[in-house]
Structures are given as structure tokens and as C-alpha cells.
A and B are shown apart, each in its own frame.
Chain A
């Protein structure tokens, strides 16, 4: 088992910066997810950790040992690839045995005919076969050992790839979008299995994905990456509820967070979309701010007025327990999306004018450069002077 320390890592391909000043500490046994859109450098970072790519600057240590310049096979890390990368000409058993054969047998013992005649080869080979069978059993693929990868389904190949990584007991597990080639149902199932695998093995997992559902459900901590930079590293709840900056807030959450332009009228009051919200903000009158409001922070209000926003319904999406209501609001360019409990708002129809209350403590404020403006008092007490209109939905 090992912790992973990444210090000031940088990487560029042909003058295009892929990673800049990435620093990250991953604790022993932690499940950390690198979350970001495709092309943000997260897979490159993973390949540098594995030793498959050389960093431009900075340093990586695994288990307290600096591994810069150490070859992939000597790092004791294992990786599961998006494409699984199984060897198509070998059976499942041979695929899983290969990493052990390469480590335990000498070059001479691995030779096709000569190797079999050497005394130790058979004993070590039998040991390896036992371990492969055990690992396969733990993953529920023992009955597939004699098949070739082409004869397996996507989920089975995924398990074989995990098995090949597991069988040599690596100290760090790297996973590069391992679920993205599976269909939606299987993905949810394999997600649970990976979580269970991490709990059982107790080793460090570093998991790369662009899927926030995977990041949120699996991780101890999530590292949000964008354009080669680490924006925030925090537990999933905190990433969602307390994003460090606007880009994080916009990337995490589905439907996307609503961004409304506002102007500070006076201390504690912000003009937005033809209304005013009582928000605990310290700022000069006239200062421009962005209000980030998550769809579920809205609730249906009885009347218009301070503390509520008024909009015309453009589209209603029924999601079962929830409604996603898209509204046009005056002074707001993009449609505002509110997520309302279906049972509390059954009457909403297209074209209707709806008043939405906002829980002031759920409004995230951002400065025009995208940085977060934190409330003076980060408690619900900040909202005590405002009487909420209508009822809370959430």
C-alpha cells in the first residue's frame, strides 16, 4: 500500500500545455477521482503516474519513493484501460498470468520449449495458475479462463482487465475511464463492484472519469480538472455544495447550475432578474456579481416580490419524482432550470407565469473573474431577517 505525492507537475506536447503546476496528495488507501471533460489532461496525468509518459516538470512519489525516471514495470502500479487492452491472442488465463510470469520467471524459464524443461518452471507455473484461479473466482470469471477476449461480453472483458491488474497485488490502482464502454445498466452495476473492490483491497485507487455520477458515488475525494489545471480537490458533497470557483460549479451538477447576473444594491441585497434577493454579501453598491443557483434550490412561491423570481415556463420535463421546469426570466439570457418536487408543483404548464422562491443560503456568489465570494457568516442565521415566501420544497 502506498500514498501518492504529486508536486508541481507540468507537461506540454508541441508547445500545447496539457498539465500545469498540478500538485496533489493522495492518501494511502484513498479513492480519488480525477474529474474533468475530455481533453483536460486527466488521462495524461494518469499515464505519468503509471510511468507510461514522462512529465515535463515536477515530481511524483509513490509510497515515499520518488519514481521520476523509474520504468512502469518497477512502480508496482496497475492500470485498467478504457479499451481494456486485453491481449487478443491469449486466453483469459494467459492474460491474467502474464504479469506474474514476467515477474517470477527468468527470461530463460519463459522460453517456449527450453523453459518447460527447467526444474523450477513447472512449480512456479502451478503457483501462478492457482493465484489466477483465485483472483478469477473472486471476480466471478473462473468459468471464462479458457476463452479468448473476443468471445467475451463487454462486462466480462472489464472484469478480466481488473483481474489482470489485481493479480499481482499492486500498491496503487489506476483506472482510466474503465466504465465508459459499457451500457448504462452495466455501468451502474460495475460501479458498485469497483466500490466494493476498493473496500476489499484497501489500496489506493486513482480513477479518471468525465462522468460526474461515477465521481460522486465512488470517491473519497474528487479532483476537478479543467484545461490542465486542478481547480478543486475535496469530498464529493463539498465539490457540489461549496465549489471553489465558477467553472467547478458549472461542471458539477446535472442539470447544470443556473448562472444569473446580479448587481449589489446595498449590503445584503442583490438586484437580479427584475427582483431583489436578500443575500448576505459584502460589497459596494453597484458591484456586478454572478449568482449560481442550483435547480433544486428553487421552490414554488405564492406571490411575486422581494425574495422571489418570476419567469414564464418554456418547457416542463417530467422525471418521475421531479419536474425540470425551464423558465424564461427577464434580464436572463439562458433558460433558468428549476427542479421541483412533482407532488408540490403538479399544476405547472407551458406558458404559465411562475414565482420561484430561492433559499438565500443556497445561492453561490461569484465575482466577475469567476472566483467565489463567500458569505460573511456561512450559516443559516444570515437569512434570519428575511421571511421566506411560500414553503421550502427541499
Chain B
């Protein structure tokens, strides 16, 4: 509208100013991280402020990260753990959400209330019981230990359920008449229609488990199993001490895949959240 009229309304300017400021505020740590990863250590502790380094030290920092620590191994661990968690989460959440959204049975609302309670519980509350469970089953310090607490996601059930409810009942009826079983309805009809929600959930799931430090810290101590954040921790202690340049280089490399993935899926992500949240 502003382009058509040849001027920009004050409200539009104010809105963009607020958005830009907020964005800058959120971006600042990331920019600082990248900036530090390009500097040599004496420049990092200099009192004066500069975004770009006087002396470019990027190559040295990144090379040191890739050679002195098994960063690629950490990232591979992250990929394996996130992929398994996401796959199992979707396999479990979709049928649950379908049952809660489209089937009628006694106790359905009570079950859904339990899901909401599950949504409210922070991960830390369950850490100790899960640790003891992991110990008695004997899976601690394996990939399974990193995966098992997260296979059922109340958030996923909630998000899919909201999305499924917005799909008309007639579609489900038509599918039943066409000969689809209830599980076939979930996988062949509901999930393809709920793609935006699936993508939004995938982003949430991958980001939170890729970045998770708390649970891996408890569950594994074998360096070959460590996911990226825990790997960086170990890297800091043993390899670099207070050498922040390589540390920031490692951090930059770890968040890079997430940023790329989010940018690629941004459109569906917004749609999935908006649709799942508004209708319901």
C-alpha cells in the first residue's frame, strides 16, 4: 500500500522499527559469536569494540576445531539422535492425535487433559526418575539413553490433534467408505493434509534435541556418543581452556545446520503454527 501511494505511514515505520530492534537484540549474541570466531585470542580480550577483526584468524580457529576435536563425530551423533527421536515421535504422535481428534470413546477428554499436563511438565522434573529408569534398564551411556525420554511428545500430540480437528469429518467418513482402515486414514489422508504441522513440529523437535545439553550431560559420558552441545563443553574443558576463538568457531558450525533447515522450511513452519493454533 505504501509503495502505491508513494509514502510510508508512520504506523508502518513504527512497526518496522520495533521489529528491527527486537530482531537486532535477538541476533546480537549470534553476531558476536560469529565475530569472535574470526578473531585471534588477544583481540578477543581487547577493551575496544569492533565487529570485524583487525587480523583475520578465521582459518586458524576453524581448522583447529575440525582437527583437534571430533566435531564431525558430535554432529553425526546429533543427526542420528535427532532423526531417531523425530521418526519415533511422529510414529507415536500421529495415531494418538487422530484418536483424540476424530474418534469417540469414553475418557477421551480426560486423556487429552493428561496430554496437556504432560505439556506443562518441564524436562528437568523428570530427569532423575528417567535417569534411574535408564540405569535399571541398563541403557545409560548408549544412543538409546539419548532417545528414550523423548519418544512420546505431548507437544506433538497437541499440535497434530489441533490440526486434525480442522480437517472435516466428511473426509474421514469418505475414507472409511473407500475402504481405508483407521491407521491407513492416519498415514494416507491425515498426515499428508497436515504437512504444515508436521514440518513445524519437525523444526521444533530437531532444534530442541540438537541443542539439548541437559539430558545428554546426565545420560552419556562416552565422548563417541556426545551430541554437539555436550561435545563443545568437553572441547572447552580439555582442548582450549579459555581460548574462545575456536570455541566460538565450533558453536557457529553447530548452529549452522539448524539455521539452514529453518530457512528452508520457514513458510510451512509459520502455516503449521498458525493453522494448528487458530482453529481448534
Chain B residues lying within 8 Å of A52, measured Cβ to Cβ, are: 173, 176-177
A79 x B173 contact (CB < 8 A): yes
Q: In the complex, A78→B179 CA distance in Å?
A: 11
Beyond A52-B173, A88-B193, A89-B192, whether A83 also contacts B168 by CB under 8 A is: yes
Against B, the Cβ 8 Å flags (1 = close, 0 = not) of A69-103 are 00111000111011101111100000000110011
8 Å CB contacts to A: which residues of B181-239? 184, 189, 192-193, 195
Beyond A88-B193, A89-B192, A89-B193, whether A83 also contacts B178 by CB under 8 A is: no
8 Å CB contacts to A: which residues of B240-265? none
Chain B residues lying within 8 Å of A164, measured Cβ to Cβ, are: 174, 178
A99 x B173 contact (CB < 8 A): no
Query: Is B170 close to A, CB under 8 A?
Result: yes
Chain A nearest CB from B175 CB (Å) reads 8
Chain B nearest CB from A146 CB (Å) reads 17
The count of residues in chain B whose C-beta lies closer than 8 Å to any C-beta of chain A is 16
Q: In the complex, A17→B195 CA distance in Å?
A: 39
Query: Is A314 close to B, CB under 8 A?
Result: no
Chain A nearest CB from B234 CB (Å) reads 40
Contact of A73 among B176, B192, B193 (CB under 8 A): B176
Contact of B173 among A85, A88, A103 (CB under 8 A): A85
Query: Is B128 close to A, CB under 8 A?
Result: no
Query: Is A18 close to B, CB under 8 A?
Result: no
Chain A residues lying within 8 Å of B173, measured Cβ to Cβ, are: 47, 50, 52, 72, 79, 81, 85
Q: In the complex, A243→B109 CA distance in Å?
A: 46
B171 x A85 contact (CB < 8 A): yes
Q: In the complex, A52→B178 CA distance in Å?
A: 12
B179 x A99 contact (CB < 8 A): yes
B178 x A102 contact (CB < 8 A): yes
Query: Is B119 close to A, CB under 8 A?
Result: no
Contact of A87 among B176, B177, B184, B189 (CB under 8 A): B189
Q: In the complex, A164→B193 CA distance in Å?
A: 19
Chain A nearest CB from B190 CB (Å) reads 10
Beyond A83-B170, A85-B170, whether A78 also contacts B177 by CB under 8 A is: yes
Chain B residues lying within 8 Å of A99, measured Cβ to Cβ, are: 177-179
B179 x A79 contact (CB < 8 A): no
Chain A residues lying within 8 Å of B171, measured Cβ to Cβ, are: 85, 87
Q: In the complex, A52→B171 CA distance in Å?
A: 12
Chain B residues lying within 8 Å of A98, measured Cβ to Cβ, are: 178, 180
Interface of B toward A, CB cutoff 8 Å: 168, 170-171, 173-180, 184, 189, 192-193, 195
Q: List 18 other contacts, CB 8 Å, given A52-B177, A79-B173.
A: A47-B173, A50-B173, A51-B177, A52-B176, A72-B176, A73-B176, A77-B177, A81-B174, A82-B170, A85-B171, A85-B173, A87-B189, A87-B193, A89-B192, A89-B195, A99-B179, A164-B174, A164-B178
Interface of A toward B, CB cutoff 8 Å: 47, 50-52, 71-73, 77-79, 81-83, 85-89, 98-99, 102-103, 164
Show 12 residue pairs from A and B whose CB-CB distance is below 8 angstroms, ordered by the A residue.
Answer: A47-B173, A73-B179, A79-B173, A79-B174, A83-B168, A85-B170, A87-B175, A89-B193, A89-B195, A99-B178, A102-B179, A102-B184
The 4 A-B residue pairs with the shortest CB-CB distance in the complex, in nearest-first order: A102-B179, A85-B170, A85-B174, A73-B179
